[in-house]
Amino acid sequence: MPLVRVEIKKHPDPTFAKRIGEQIYSAMRSAISVPDHDNFQILNEHDANHFIFDPEYLGIQRSEQLVIIQITLNEGRTLEQKKALYQTIAQNLNTHLSIRLEDVFINLVEVKKENWSFGNGIAQYAN
C-alpha cells in the first residue's frame, strides 16, 4: 500500500497535480505491481517561497517545474524493482505531461507492514 506525496510549484492548470498522480499510480501498477484501487495520494502546490530546491545538486540541472515525489510503501522491493519504478515514473511524466526527466525527484520510504492502518483503528496488514 503506497502512500504518495507530490510537491510542485503552483501550476496554472488546476488539474496538473492530479494528472501527475495518475501517471505515478500507473507507473506503480506496472513497475511494482500495486493492486487496483490501492491509490492514496496527497498532492500539494506551493508558491515560490515555500518550494525550495538546489537547481544543480549532483550535476542535475533542475528547473522551476521540479516535481518532488515521496512514496511510503512496504519494505521488500528489490533494487531492480526500485530502479524500474524510478525509470517508469520519470518516463510517464515526460511522455504524458512533458516534464523533463531532470525535474523528477523521487524518494522511497520503506516501512514494515504493521505500520499501516487503513481505517477502523485496525492494523490490517499486521500478522
Return mean pLDDT, the chain.
96
Angle at 31 between CA 23 and CA 100, to 5 degrees: 45
CATH of 3-115, one of 1.10.8.10, 3.30.429.10, 3.30.300.340, 3.40.1050.10: 3.30.429.10
Q: What is the pTM of this model?
A: 0.94
The CA distance from 78 to 80, in Å, is 5
Give bridge partners of residue 41 from the DSSP assignment: 4
Domain ranges of the chain: 3-115
* pLDDT above 90: residue 57: yes
9-40 tens-digit pLDDT: 999 999 999 999 999 999 999 999 999 999 99
Q: Catalytic amino acids?
A: 2
Q: Can you name the residues that pair with 24 across neighbouring β-strands?
A: none
Distance between CA 70 and CA 6 in Å, rounded? 7
